[in-house]
């Protein structure tokens, strides 16, 4: 008989449906055709002739139905399924059964040809010339009667239900009887039901039955959820070798603080027996990558880490390495660009204007304002590419809070510039969505709001402390605002946003240790067109206008007043900017008509002027964040070999000026070099 139709081979022939309780209902839509074809293509027998007769009768019926309904071809899969239903009925009534599977005290009547068509194991056992080929009763060992019943039901139907009670038995029997689709169904069940309590057992089970993909996924679950897993009783029962395997895995990206906490918990669960393992475990941790303040706190609290001479030496060596690393810190600061978008959302049709498809930028590069040289440093962790990135800096480290609304995931990461190492931090207390307010103050990283909204009804306010490696709650914002921006100025956090449709900017402040946010009185300021980019320089907080058609203003926190500031030379909406050396540095962003602006501008508050100090020839981005960090030896070497930025050659950007000139003329301005006047473009 012909092989199954091609339509039976489509990828979606295997159906996986999970119930609310986690149970899996699996069906192979191509199973019936495989069984029936296997029987009809097998050795000639009376049973084969009976099946062939039934198949022919059903084919005639379906062919007539096709003619009646003017179908192009008969529903082959339905024909096979109906034949398999007949065979299932024969099995239940004992008709034509020629073998009995004996499992324990249970007898299960079957048809040899059906079992052989489904399983290479049964084909060899029942038709391969062994003693069982002639025996009416065949004894099966190392399997339970209930599991064999489920396997036989699958053979005659193509479907099976996998639950917590039967999953392990089905995995065992499916590998024994060589039923790969059932094995894969079991793996899908285990994969779907991975949790902190069972992940180690599932990993061991996958390795025992040689299910490499499941073992890989279980290990990935361990690495991705390690802080939660380390709090379980099952974690405490790990052998030292298993814990070492986790600590040394290349896929383990958790911070060394988090890993040290897990080591201490594991040791304390059986302290007397596991003291001897401490030196080995500490040697695998690379303690020099731990924040100094955190290590000092742990050493004061956990004497067990330095009780023996070997452990004490490992800690002392790590401390010395930290001090040596700090000595390599260069006195100057550099500017890092993180995240954002490259390319253009509109491919310009104007001659001479380039454009390309938009993509998320994972590269982290830096600018040395002294030499005006650029260098690429690292990339964001690959799986975070399409997340929303919120970025700030503390000391020499960059902190990134990445959020994904599609996956309902929030991850926090730290990039240690001095060591060129990424480390994942404990998950925040709350799931954050989209862009939030993120800033540092007094050694803590503050995360405020959700989707650029903050207020009493937004509970996702928290702060991360590197010295404790923990997230702590922060009081709710007093007045609800949206489209807000947050920045550190002086010894306070300043949150500026809108509370209504009047366009008036409300200002609120928070000082660490206060029980609540305070409203910061200042004369009303109408921001004209809403935007949410700010940077602090001295005692002033600067707000970026959406274009040069609007004036730039700054909030003077000392005099509690709004001050008009000269606009940048060009529009830099969605730019990255930061303060360094008492000046504001601005990179990238976009103009109204262009989704990339290569120019770098610098604002000097002493003469209140903006200067175009250079242009990026590559790596141009918008929607990114700029932060200033202390440079170090390896970054300095990388920068010395990097390209230098430059000012534009005469006429090089003429095509941009021409189109911008047309834009400004539309709004009554003389040229693209004029500083804008506040226009209500939205009213047009």
pTM of the model: 0.85
Lowest mean pLDDT among 7-16, 182-191, 659-668: 659-668
pLDDT at 385 exceeding the cut of 90: yes
pLDDT average, residue stretch 357-372: 88
pLDDT at 549 exceeding the cut of 80: no
Convert 668-683 to b/e letters by CB count within 10 Å (16 or more is b): ebeebeeebeebeeee
3-state SS, residue 33:
helix
Task: Kindly indicate the confidence band of residue 5, based on its pLDDT and cuts at 50, 70 and 90.
Answer: very low
How many other C-beta atoms can be found within 10 angstroms of the C-beta atom of residue 561? 12
DSSP string, 39-59: HHTS---HHHHHHHHHHHHHH
Residues 6+ apart with CB under 8 A from 659: 350, 353, 593, 594
The CATH architecture annotation of domain 6-193 reads 2-Layer Sandwich (3.30)
pLDDT average, residue stretch 512-536: 81
Q: Which of 659, 21, 37, 22 is nearest to 350 (CA)?
A: 659
Fold designation for 330-683? Neuraminidase (2.120.10)
Lowest mean pLDDT among 25-29, 131-135, 271-275, 342-346: 342-346
Rg (CA), the chain: 34
Gap between the Cα atoms of 557 and 494, Å rounded: 9
Fold designation for 238-327? 1.25.40
Q: Report residue 498: phi and psi, to 5°.
A: -105, 140
The residue extents of the domains of the chain are 6-193, 238-327, 330-683
What's the pLDDT tens digit per position in 9-65?
A: 435 788 999 999 999 999 999 999 999 989 888 887 888 888 888 888 887 776 655
Task: Kindly indicate the confidence band of residue 592, based on its pLDDT and cuts at 50, 70 and 90.
Answer: low
Residue 124 · residue 171 · CB < 8 Å: no
**Distance between the two ends of the chain, CA-based, in angstroms?**
74
């Amino acid at each position: 008989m012909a092989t199954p139709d091609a339509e039976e081979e489509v990828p979606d022939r295997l159906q996986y449906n999970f119930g609310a309780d986690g149970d899996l209902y699996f069906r192979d839509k191509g199973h019936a055709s495989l069984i029936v074809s296997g029987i009809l293509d097998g050795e000639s027998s009376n049973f084969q002739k009976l099946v062939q007769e039934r198949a022919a009768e059903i084919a005639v019926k379906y062919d007539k139905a096709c003619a009646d309904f003017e179908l192009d071809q008969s529903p082959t899969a339905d024909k096979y399924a109906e034949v398999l239903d007949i065979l299932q009925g024969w099995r239940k009534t004992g008709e034509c059964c020629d073998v009995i599977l004996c499992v324990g005290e249970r007898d299960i009547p079957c048809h040899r040809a059906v079992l052989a068509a489904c399983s290479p194991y049964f084909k060899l056992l029942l038709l391969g010339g062994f003693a069982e080929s002639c025996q009416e009763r065949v004894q099966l060992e190392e399997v339970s009667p209930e599991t064999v019943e489920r396997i036989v039901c699958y053979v005659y139907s193509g479907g099976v239900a996998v639950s917590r009670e039967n999953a392990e038995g089905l995995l065992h029997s499916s590998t024994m009887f060589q039923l790969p689709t059932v094995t894969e169904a079991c793996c899908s069940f285990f994969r779907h039901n991975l949790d902190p309590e069972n992940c180690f057992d599932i990993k061991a089970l996958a390795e025992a039955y040689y299910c490499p993909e499941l073992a890989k996924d279980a290990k990935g679950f361990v690495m991705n959820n390690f802080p939660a897993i380390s709090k379980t009783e099952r974690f405490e029962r790990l052998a030292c070798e298993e814990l070492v395997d986790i600590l040394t895995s290349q896929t383990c990206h958790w911070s060394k603080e988090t890993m040290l906490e897990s080591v201490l918990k594991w040791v304390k669960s059986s302290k007397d027996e596991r003291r001897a393992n401490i030196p080995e475990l500490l040697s695998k941790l690379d303690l020099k990558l731990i924040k100094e303040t955190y290590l000092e706190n742990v050493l004061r609290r956990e004497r067990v880490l330095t009780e023996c001479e070997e452990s004490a030496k490992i800690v002392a060596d790590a401390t010395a390495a930290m001090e040596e690393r700090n000595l390599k810190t260069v006195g100057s600061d550099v500017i890092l660009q993180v995240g954002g978008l490259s390319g253009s959302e509109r491919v310009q049709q104007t001659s001479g204007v380039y454009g390309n498809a938009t993509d998320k930028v994972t590269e982290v590069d830096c600018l040395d304002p002294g030499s005006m040289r650029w260098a690429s440093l690292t990339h964001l962790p690959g799986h975070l590419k399409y997340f929303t990135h919120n970025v700030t800096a503390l000391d020499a480290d960059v902190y990134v809070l990445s959020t994904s609304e599609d996956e309902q995931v929030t991850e926090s990461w730290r990039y240690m510039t001095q060591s060129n190492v990424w480390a994942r931090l404990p998950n925040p207390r709350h799931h954050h969505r989209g862009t939030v307010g993120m800033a540092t103050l007094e050694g803590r990283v503050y995360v405020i709001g959700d989707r650029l909204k903050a207020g009493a009804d937004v509970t996702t306010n928290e702060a991360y402390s590197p010295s404790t490696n923990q997230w702590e709650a922060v009081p709710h914002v007093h007045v609800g605002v949206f489209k807000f921006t947050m920045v550190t100025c002086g010894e306070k956090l300043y949150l500026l946003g809108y509370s209504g449709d009047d366009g008036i900017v409300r200002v609120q402040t928070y000082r660490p240790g206060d029980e609540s946010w305070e409203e910061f009185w200042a004369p009303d300021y109408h921001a004209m067109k809403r935007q949410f980019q700010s940077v602090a320089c001295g005692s002033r907080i600067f707000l970026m206008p959406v274009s040069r058609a609007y004036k730039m203003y700054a909030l003077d926190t000392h005099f509690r007043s709004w001050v008009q500031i000269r606009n940048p030379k060009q529009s830099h909406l969605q730019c990255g900017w930061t303060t360094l050396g008492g000046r504001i540095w601005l990179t990238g962003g976009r103009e109204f008509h262009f989704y990339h602006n290569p120019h770098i501008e610098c604002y000097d508050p002493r003469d209140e002027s903006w200067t175009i100090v250079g242009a990026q020839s590559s790596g141009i981005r918008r929607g990114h964040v700029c932060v200033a960090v202390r440079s170090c030896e390896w970054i300095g070497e990388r920068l010395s070999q990097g390209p230098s930025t430059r000012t534009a050659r005469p006429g090089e950007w003429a095509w941009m000026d021409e189109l911008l000139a047309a834009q400004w003329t539309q709004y009554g301005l003389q040229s693209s070099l004029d500083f804008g006047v506040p226009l209500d473009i939205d009213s047009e």
